[in-house]
Amino acid sequence: MVEIGTPFTPRGRKALLLGSGELGKEVAIELQRYGIEVVALDKYPNAPAMHVANRSIVVSMLDGEALRKIVEEERPDYIIPEIEAIATKTLIELEKEGWNVVPTARATFITMNRREIRNLAAVELGVPTSPFEFADTEEEYLEAVKQIGIPCVVKPVMSSSGHGQSLVREQSQVADAWREAQEGGRAGGGAVIVEGFVDFDYEITLLTVRHAGGTSFCEPIGHYQKNGDYQRSWQPQPMSAKALEKAREIAAKVTGALGGYGIFGVEFFIKGDDVIFSELSPRPHDTGMVTLISQHLSEFSLHVRALLGLPIPEIKFYGPSASRALLAEGNSSDIVFSGMEEALSIPGTDMRIFGKPEVKGHRRMGVMLATGSDVQDACEKVEKAAAIINIDVK
């Protein structure tokens, strides 16, 4: 039986949120709906989740000693990683000592490291993936490119949201791709993965929820990325029943091997009825922000219900929907949104402003949401509304 006491009392529950971006903010809101005290961590002050958390701490989560000290002082019931740049070795040690890491410390470690998740999926589980080679040095990297061939995709072993990623279309781009991977990795320079370029019809994110009642799936989410970073997503992505069944089978297999309760964003390449596993995150996914308008339980609601051990008897899908990232360019902490009156006058639209404190170069600052009569209508509507929004970076 799940019991949740009153916040700030001996029987109250506490969650330590490791990462306080826009996804963490929605998780914090959902936790508080169930009376959970939230302590939000990030490497910079005034991160989005810190706006709604009960308390916040600024710390580098790659600092294992600092992270351990915070856990021992706060004594959380749930440790919830929401980003990749975390001292996963420390999380594994803490879990062995009895602390509750969501979904598991092992899942966080494996999915943060492309070497580990590929070995699990392709080698241990025999799941179809793109051809790949790993390289720890520049010399090994050059040999890996020869083995895989051009075109190929080069990524740091430890990164996310397209950081350090390059598409190599010709030999002249090989050296630059290595430098980009070394500079863009979440944990600094290091190993890279060289992937064969996959000829696919479209990509999907299949949000997969492991919970007390079993494993459930959201409708497949299609998405458009630029330089590996999410720009727009829509739900449902039209696909054959056979391909969807294969995707669900693979997602259940991989997430089952990782274990724990929570939502997993499982990414696939789809070619006809063929399904190729790409990547996985053991937490809400940026493309899944479309569920803020498409479902009665968003991916954030599902994540929190699952980690609390609460039932998820159904995931009610409302209808065709789309999301569009609202991006800003510049270098400032003086950021002003306008155009909301006109954009939100379009029927079926909604938006979120993340409240990030500054822009340095290029940054996702909000998301536009829309429903439509079909996927194309939802996508056209969300693009129209997003184009109206102006983000002034002084």
What residues act catalytically?
Answer: 160, 162, 267, 279, 286-287, 364
Measured distance CA(61)–CA(112) in Å, rounded: 13
Q: Which residue has the tokens 């470690």?
A: 109
225 DSSP β-pair partners: 230
CA angle 150, 161, 351 (to 5 degrees): 135
Provide the 3-class DSSP secondary structure of residue 229: strand
Residue closest to 15 by CA, chosen among 80, 91, 102, 103 = 80
- Identify whether 313 is preceded by a cis peptide bond (ω within 30 of 0): no
Q: Note the Cα 288 to chain centre separation in Å.
A: 8
37-42, strands of its sheet edge to edge: 55-58, 37-42, 14-18, 78-81
Evaluate the CA torsion angle 313, 317, 318, 323 in order and state its sign.
positive
Read out DSSP for 117-132? Answer: HHIIIIIIS---B--E
Name the pairing type of β-strands 221-226 and 229-235.
antiparallel
Measured distance CA(148)–CA(18) in Å, rounded: 36
Q: At residue 96, what is the residue type?
A: K
Provide the 3-class DSSP secondary structure of residue 6: coil
